[in-house]
Amino acid sequence: MLPVLYRDDWLVAIHKPAGLLVHRSALDAGETHFALQMLRNQIGRRVWPAHRLDRGTSGVLLFALDEAASRALGAQFESRQIGKRYAAVVRGHPPESGEIDHPLSVLPEDRPFADFAEPRQARTLYRRLATTELPYRVDRYPTSRYALLELEPVTGRRHQLRRHLKHVSHPIIGDATYGKGGHNRLFHALLGCRRLLLACTELRLRHPVTGAPVVISAPLAEDFAKVVRRLDWAGSVPAGWLSQDQPLGSGTKRPPGNGCGSA
């Protein structure tokens, strides 16, 4: 059962677990479980994904319940009217806040479908929430530094957050493609963490039918929250990240504009 964060007559949002694909992909031809099909079976009606989360990313995943709502949401994403916030654990200690403005080229798997060839503008804002230094050597130093970040992608390029953080030498822990294997293995050995430590914690949008503001938020998944607690960061996270005030999976129906959480 997929935990439902928000539902009305036009929208439904779930808390996607890490490791689950949003929909069928040629890159994972052997996979048989997808959020789209699971949610369709769970609520008994067709759904349209409004955006994508990478397989390893957990958190807020939004679907439309009819084609008109799907088109309206697509227009909001395309025109960058939807706000997104993410949590990430990265290697090193970035500055307290900043912006990564670095164009990203199309990925090889997307080239057959891309209508552009040159790198496209990509911007990510970040805020450092907490840091730690562990007494273990991974690189050339006798200790290893890590930080918890809140990320806000201004643009929506494929793998943007993961690629941007690699670009500034602060790769996300658990990222097998853009990260550092030694740091990933340390988190597995110390904390039992095998997942990508990236989660969508909030979406902010205009309701596609009523026009009312909607904020949909999700706490960190338990495996992510466990890392935050073990690193003694619980006191530094935004309200709601470690909260289970609304039990996941309750399937609560809310009037348009009364989304979960707060801005």
Whole-number pLDDT of residue 108:
65
For the chain, give every domain's residue range: 4-236
Q: What are the b/e assignments for 210-225, b being 16+ CB within 10 Å? A: eeeebbbbbbbbebbb
Compute mean pLDDT per 10 residues along the chain, 263 residues long, and list them: 96 97 69 88 96 96 97 95 97 98 80 64 97 95 97 95 98 97 97 97 97 97 97 96 56 34 29
Write down the CATH number for the domain with range 4-236.
3.30.2350.10
Instruction: Summarize pLDDT for 157-177 with one digit per residue, the tens.
Output: 989 999 999 999 999 999 999
* Catalytic center residues: 54
- Mention every residue, 6+ apart, whose C-beta is less than 8 A from residue 128: 93, 94, 95, 96, 97, 147, 148, 149
